Chains A and B, each alone.
Chain A
Amino acid sequence: MNAALPKISIRGLCKAFGRKVVLDGIDLDLGSGESVVVIGGSGSGKSVLLKCVLGLMEPDAGSILIDGVETVGLRGEPRDEIGRKFGMLFQGAALFDSLPVWENVTFGLLAQQKIRRHDARGIAVAKLAQVGLGADVCDLAPSELSGGMQKRVALARAIAADPEIIFFDEPTTGLDPIMADVINSLIVKTTREVGASALSITHDMASARKIAHRIAMLYQGAIIWAGPVADVDASGDPRVDQFIHGRAEGPIQMAVRA
């Protein structure tokens, strides 16, 4: 895996909002076919990290190589081309509430003109089946679905265009433990099916253990530990231990103001 070119290679990534430094020199690699989960407390900058990689936010400094191509500062058509390799599952699902489920699922395919409009509904049914949903949800509005079903539809939308890299932003937050496990299994299954690499962020350790090959911990703007998921219990870093066991006492002091 190390010999091949990494799908994503992040070096020295910095991002601050005003005087508040959120990311302070992030180094992280994502190999081809690999699933990396970044863990960290709320407000530690996990979403900001993801948005920088996705190009939704401009980093202050550092480099993000996608398949060896520098994407920091990249704009226009080259940026769009990189963007077409991505699929993203947002924390709150972020389904378009003005469109029915089937149009949500096929939105990216239609936008890239990979399919024609009158085929879209049938394709949506197939994509929904991949995440265990029946054709009966096709014509519902997103607001008519439960949180777990919204996440599934969002997952179907994220994988619809067969992306090379899929990003997951706290995929299990706000779900009951059983639904969380269903989503985790779907993530593992669908990522494997489309043969994608995955970069996820979460603060849910059960989720991280299930979907990760490698875990990296983000704390105070830097990756303080990274290693295979099997090693996370023996990291030797008290901050990682505190986080994965969810203890209030320890080296990590929760800031009241995130």
Chain B
Amino acid sequence: MNTLQLVGAFALSFFAVVGRLTLFGVEALSHCLRPPFYLRSIGRQLIDIGYYSLPVVGLTAIFTGMVLALQSYVGFARFSAEGAIANVVVVSITRELGPVLAGLMVAGRIGAAMAAEIGTMRVTEQLDALTTLSTNPMKYLVAPRLIAGVIVLPLLVIIANIIGIFGGFIVAVYKLGFNPANYLQNTFEALHVDDVVSGLVKAAVFGFIISLMGCYHGYTSRGGAQGVGQATTSAVVSASILILCFDYVLTELFFAK
């Protein structure tokens, strides 16, 4: 009986959160589509989310590409199919690891920052102040972040893809002693438009998820500094889980026949 109650209570609160989140997302989206558009804020977010994430995303990508080449060499050496390494690196980076790792890194960096900034604005009544100054906080704060997230994550992933594949190239050529020209040719043969595009679509969805989670948890934070701290944690954790979850769903949509 008690367990049942527990499960019931959990299910209820889970669906309540999903419901609130959906309403929040729909309202925010509707503000993305209706003027006025705060181009200045969108520009600032593009730089915050995109430009300042470059080092983190680049480092993640290069080491991932390198380790992919190394690992798959260990695996493939047994079957003496070393030429397949370029293929493995390209396909895994463009389809999966580029978008997912960039998404997770940006979620940690940006999701937390958004939740902290908007959460602080909530508890210091700056959100209320916006409303009294004829400005809708959803439109002024949330919409630009959503728009910037959707635009900038695919751009970051393009760069992550290039750097990641380059990381694989470095290991293959300088450590495993492959012929650079052959490796490059294999790389270009392995590169498929579908794979890249599917990765970029994933990235756009992840960008939306990161901004939505950051804004939602900040917007709904309660109770001073502790509440804001909790909001940042929730933003990062929920964005990361949703990214992995949607990664599966989107892969299923794109590639499962």
Contact = CB atoms under 8 A, between A and B. Distances in A.
Nearest to A112: B134
Contacts of B135: 107-108, 111
Interface residues of B, number: 13
A108 B125 contact: no
B128 A111 contact: no
A51 B132 contact: no
Interface stretch (A30-38, A80-88, A196-204): A80-88
A86 B130 CA distance: 12
Nearest to B121: A96
Given A56-B131, A83-B134, A95-B129, 18 more contacts: A51-B128, A56-B128, A56-B132, A80-B134, A83-B132, A88-B129, A90-B128, A92-B124, A94-B124, A94-B125, A95-B126, A96-B121, A96-B130, A98-B117, A108-B132, A108-B134, A112-B134, A157-B133
Interface in B92-135: 117, 121, 124-126, 128-135
Contacts of A112: 134
Interface of B: 117, 121, 124-126, 128-135
Given A94-B125, A96-B126, A87 B132 contact: yes
A74 to B, nearest CB: 14
Nearest to A55: B131
B44 to A, nearest CB: 9
A54 interface: yes
Contacts of B132: 54, 56, 83, 86-88, 108
B134 A90 contact: no
Which of B117, B124, B132 is packed against the most chain A CB atoms within 10 Å? Answer: B132
A191 B146 CA distance: 40
A97 B130 CA distance: 12
Contact of A94 (B117, B128, B134): B128
B134 A111 contact: yes
A86 B135 CA distance: 13
Contacts of A97: 126
A92 B134 contact: no
Nearest to B132: A88
A90 B133 contact: no
Contact of A108 (B117, B124, B128, B133): B133
A111 B130 CA distance: 10
Contacts of B126: 94-97
Nearest to B133: A108
A91 interface: yes
Contacts of A96: 121, 126, 129-130
B117 to A, nearest CB: 8
Nearest to A84: B134
12 contacts: A54-B128, A54-B132, A88-B129, A88-B132, A90-B129, A94-B126, A95-B129, A96-B130, A97-B126, A107-B135, A111-B133, A157-B133
Contacts of B121: 96
A193 to B, nearest CB: 20
Contacts of A157: 133
